[in-house]
């Protein structure tokens, strides 16, 4: 459990740099420049998919964990690293060869900017592999330190290049490239200091064979999660992409804060929960609890989106307020889809996922063609809502044939209805100077109503009260000499296992 929480924090740190840098982007980049930056990042993600990044990372983790001794682990580290380096070389050569036509397609005047942007995306592969080996060794502290180093170096270099140097998009890309090279170089050197460099040619093809099946699903995932930017670029221009990108990133904060850390913990426990005698009910109950923080935080971001935009954006980005609510709704369906996925992993039926992903990809392409030319950024957001709902529904239907979960449909529906009601109610009134306190009061009243009306079960109330009690006791039991610190941690694992 401790390691899962730490990995969740590490993932948050890796994503935090993008959130921290948002005010810098919106104040030093006009929407068109921000749009170009977004397009380059998304194009880079296509390139990393073609280089089988997710598959190679999975191969590194799987082969390392299954190695029989340290000598075999050393060969795996060197071999997988060699595959990644060869992929980086091929990717860079492809970028150089296709820079001119690709720049024309993306609407970028300077091909050198395209080369730099894609090189920065490729360079982010360098720290990825050593961190995968850290995770395989369950070095959670090392993992979070590596995440922290990567985040701090990127933020520092980008701020210096953009705010002080005035380099705009060039500064962002150079900062990302340099930070990735530094972090990747340091982490790779530490790995080879530990293991040496002893590649095994007999393991090259097994690694490639393991990795390549991830490519079709990755390409579908690219269309699902990045295709909207390219449709907007073709139909509306880079300015609209920039405004939409800001709305998308702010909507993404909800999942980063309210779902990712909890999901890391759930990933460590779901196999045991599924196999409990009452696993069908336990899984349904846990999914309700995992969706609840997302709905609360999502409703809060919808309520205060204009105030948030004052912090993260300027008047040029005001249009992002229109797309934030539908994008949060779309990401709710993706969150549900990820949770429905559990049965595929527990019962090793992941082959069913590709057909579902292809179906969702077809749906979103049709919706892009129908909605984006007419409604621009709002059309892209509505297309995401429709397609991600279809994705979640299809995953739910197929996963139920693998393991039938007793979902708490009524509770989830009541939770969503409450969130929508709070957002709509706040939008009906102009509270003037009391706007923020009034919205905060609405947000506070909502969980109170759920608590009083019985939406929260007796067991959940007891868990909440016990957690708050332990927290208060811990705060009260932190004297200068550290007395009382040794007892609480020792009780944690037993308590967690008993609850699970």
Query: What are 12-55's pLDDT values in tens digits?
Result: 666 666 778 888 898 899 999 999 999 999 999 888 888 887 77
Q: Dig out the tokens for 204 from the structure.
A: 């090259």
**Which pLDDT value is given to residue 5?**
57
Give percent of the chain above pLDDT 70.
90
pTM: 0.82
- CB 150, CB 12: distance < 8 Å: no
Show Cβ contacts of residue 375 under 8 Å, excluding neighbours closer than 6 positions: 382
- Judge residue 409's burial from the number of C-beta atoms within 10 Å of its C-beta, 0-12 exposed, 13-18 middle, 19 or more buried: exposed
Give percent of the chain above pLDDT 90.
50
The conformational region for residue 52 under phi > 0 = left, psi -120 to 50 = alpha, else beta, is left
Q: What is the DSSP letter of 434?
A: G
Count of Cβ atoms closer than 10 Å to residue 212 Cβ = 12
Tokens 């990825």, located at residue: 128
* CA–CA dist 431, 426 (Å, integer): 9
Q: What is the DSSP letter of 108?
A: -
Q: Virtual CA dihedral for 41, 43, 48, 49, nearest 10 degrees?
A: 130
Q: What is the DSSP letter of 276?
A: S
Model confidence band, residue 498 (pLDDT cutoffs 50, 70, 90): very low
For range 386-404, the mean pLDDT: 97
Give the CA distances from residue 286 to residues 1, 250, 265, in Å, rounded to whole numbers and listed in that order. 16, 26, 12
Residue 174 has pLDDT above 90, yes or no: yes
For range 320-330, the mean pLDDT: 97
SS3 314: coil
**Which pLDDT value is given to residue 494?**
41
Model confidence band, residue 499 (pLDDT cutoffs 50, 70, 90): very low
Across the chain, how many H-helices and E-strands are there?
22, 0
pLDDT in tens, 182-202: 999 999 999 898 888 888 888
Question: For the chain, how big is the Rg over CA atoms in Å?
Answer: 24
- Judge residue 55's burial from the number of C-beta atoms within 10 Å of its C-beta, 0-12 exposed, 13-18 middle, 19 or more buried: buried
For range 163-172, the mean pLDDT: 93
- Judge residue 458's burial from the number of C-beta atoms within 10 Å of its C-beta, 0-12 exposed, 13-18 middle, 19 or more buried: exposed
Spell 379-405 as b/e; 16+ CB within 10 A means b: bbbbbbbbbbbbbbbbbbebbeeebeb
- CB 116, CB 44: distance < 8 Å: no
Most confident of 131-140, 379-388, 468-477: 379-388
Q: Dig out the tokens for 465 from the structure.
A: 């009260």
For range 234-262, the mean pLDDT: 92
Q: What is the DSSP letter of 319?
A: T
pLDDT in tens, 407-423: 999 999 999 999 999 99
Count of Cβ atoms closer than 10 Å to residue 42 Cβ = 21
The conformational region for residue 455 under phi > 0 = left, psi -120 to 50 = alpha, else beta, is alpha
Residue 83 has pLDDT above 70, yes or no: yes
Residue 181 has pLDDT above 80, yes or no: yes
pLDDT in tens, 212-245: 777 888 889 899 999 999 999 999 999 999 999 9
* CA–CA dist 63, 58 (Å, integer): 8
- CB 488, CB 470: distance < 8 Å: yes
Question: Where does 196-237 have alpha helices with state H?
Answer: 204-211, 214-235
- CB 411, CB 418: distance < 8 Å: no
Q: Whole-number mean pLDDT of the chain?
A: 86
For range 300-310, the mean pLDDT: 92
């Amino acid at each position: 459990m401790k390691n899962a929480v730490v990995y969740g924090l590490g993932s948050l740190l890796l994503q935090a740099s993008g959130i921290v840098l948002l005010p810098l982007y919106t104040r030093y980049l006009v929407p068109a420049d921000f749009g170009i930056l977004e397009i380059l990042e998304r194009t880079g993600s296509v390139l990393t998919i073609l280089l089988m990044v997710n598959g190679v990372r999975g191969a590194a983790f799987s082969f390392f964990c299954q190695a029989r001794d340290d000598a075999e682990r050393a060969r795996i580290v060197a071999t997988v690293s060699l595959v990644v380096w060869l992929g980086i070389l091929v990717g860079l050569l492809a970028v150089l060869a296709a820079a001119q036509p690709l720049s024309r397609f993306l609407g970028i005047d300077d091909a050198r900017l395209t080369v730099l942007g894609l090189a920065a995306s490729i360079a982010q592969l360098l720290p990825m592999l050593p961190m995968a080996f850290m995770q395989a060794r369950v070095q959670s502290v090392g993992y979070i330190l590596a995440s922290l180093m990567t985040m701090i170096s990127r933020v520092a270099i980008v701020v210096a290049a953009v705010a002080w140097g005035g380099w705009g998009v060039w500064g962002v890309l150079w900062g990302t490239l340099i930070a990735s090279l530094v972090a990747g170089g340091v982490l790779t050197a530490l790995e080879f200091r530990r293991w040496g460099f002893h590649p095994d040619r007999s393991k090259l093809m097994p690694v490639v064979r393991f990795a390549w099946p991830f490519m079709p699903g990755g390409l579908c995932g690219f269309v699902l999660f990045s295709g909207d930017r390219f449709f907007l670029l073709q139909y509306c221009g880079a300015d609209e992409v920039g405004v939409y990108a800001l709305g998308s990133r702010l909507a993404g904060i909800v999942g980063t804060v309210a779902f990712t850390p909890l999901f890391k913990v759930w990933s460590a426990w779901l196999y045991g929960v599924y196999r409990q005698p009452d696993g069908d009910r336990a899984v349904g109950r846990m999914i309700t609890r995992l969706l609840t923080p997302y709905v609360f935080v999502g409703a809060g971001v919808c309520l205060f989106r204009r105030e948030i935009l004052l912090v993260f954006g300027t008047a040029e980005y005001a249009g992002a307020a229109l797309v934030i609510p539908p994008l949060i709704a779309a990401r709710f369906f993706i969150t549900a889809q990820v949770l429905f996925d559990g049965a595929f992993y527990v019962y090793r039926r992941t082959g069913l996922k590709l057909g579902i992903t292809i179906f969702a990809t077809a749906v979103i392409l049709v919706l892009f063609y129908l909605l984006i030319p007419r409604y621009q950024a709002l059309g892209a957001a509505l297309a995401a809502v429709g397609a991600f709902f279809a994705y979640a529904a299809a995953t739910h239907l197929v996963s139920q044939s693998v393991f039938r979960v007793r979902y708490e449909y009524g509770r989830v529906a009541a939770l969503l209805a409450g969130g929508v009601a709070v957002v709509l109610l706040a939008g009906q009134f102009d509270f003037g100077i009391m706007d923020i306190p009034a919205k905060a009061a609405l947000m506070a009243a909502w969980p109170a109503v759920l608590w009083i009306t019985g939406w929260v079960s007796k067991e959940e109330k007891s868990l909440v009260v016990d957690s708050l009690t332990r927290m208060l006791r811990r705060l009260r039991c932190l004297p200068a000499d550290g007395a009382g610190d040794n007892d609480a941690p020792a009780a944690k694992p037993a308590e967690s296992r008993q609850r699970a």
